[in-house]
Amino acid sequence: MELVHPQAEIYAANFSSAEDPVLKTIAEATTLSHAQPHMMSGHLQGKFLEIISKLIAPKRILEIGTMIGYSSICLAKGLAQGGILHTIEMREEDAAIAKENFRVAGLQEQIQLHVGNAAEIIPQLNEPWDLVFIDADKTGYSKYYELLKPRLRSGAVILADNVLFHGDVLENEIKGKNAKAIHAFNEMLAADEEVEKIMLTLRDGLFLIRKK
């Protein structure tokens, strides 16, 4: 299902800040060479992540699902002085490209890349998170949220991508393990009184969650 009219996407892009030239080059190379370039955040969502990060000025960011590092670079732009972004990617090939992209963006000191399964790596990262971006396997979202929540400082923000899952969660009978997992995650968030949240209809649906 097409969630946002393509003309609205173009109009929004035209009236938003231009894409950073380094990110533009990364996006073009990824579109040419990657099997799933659509997974990358891209211009509009990337700019949104960057502005949210700049508003928070986080010391500690966690990203689950690096891919080639587009969103990591956007988020890292908002880090406070001396801050660090930890990002987790399971696929070694993508992680290697991300590492190179971080070097090109001059962010290799601020971004720590972990290669492996997020469910195993998150418990090893004993940090007080200020900002988290969940953007990996959809069946893992609820588990990641449970693992993370005790490590969020008060006022911390979580962003979770693809929460409309191409519109599949809007069906009367939700089919497919990914759409079912995302719907269960959304239900868990809706019932959680310890956070305030807004589901944005940006791109494929982006949940903006704040720990009270």
- Dist. CA 36–CA 22, nearest whole Å: 20
* Cβ closest to ligand SAM, residue 31 vs residue 117: 117
Name the segment binding ligand SAM (CB under 6 A); options: 13-21, 36-44, 76-84, 176-184.
36-44
For residue 28, CA distances in Å to 6, 92, 94, 193 come to 19, 21, 15, 42
| Choice from 23, 27, 62, 67 touching ligand SAM (CB under 6 A) | 67
65 contributes a contact to ligand SAM by CB under 6 A: yes
The count of chain residues that interact with ligand SAM, using the rule CB under 6 A, is 18
31 contributes a contact to ligand SAM by CB under 6 A: no
Residues 88-117: x where in contact with ligand SAM by CB under 6 A, - otherwise, as a string: xxxx--x----------------------x
Residues 120-139: x where in contact with ligand SAM by CB under 6 A, - otherwise, as a string: ---------------xxx--
**75: CB partners within 8 A, 6+ apart:** 49, 50, 53, 61, 63, 85, 131, 133
- Residue-wise burial string across 119-157, b where 16 or more C-beta atoms lie within 10 A, e elsewhere: bebbeebeeebbbbbbbbbbebbbebbebbbebbeeebb
140 contributes a contact to ligand SAM by CB under 6 A: yes
Contact residues toward ligand SAM (CB under 6 A) are 39-41, 65, 67, 70-71, 88-91, 94, 117-118, 135-137, 140
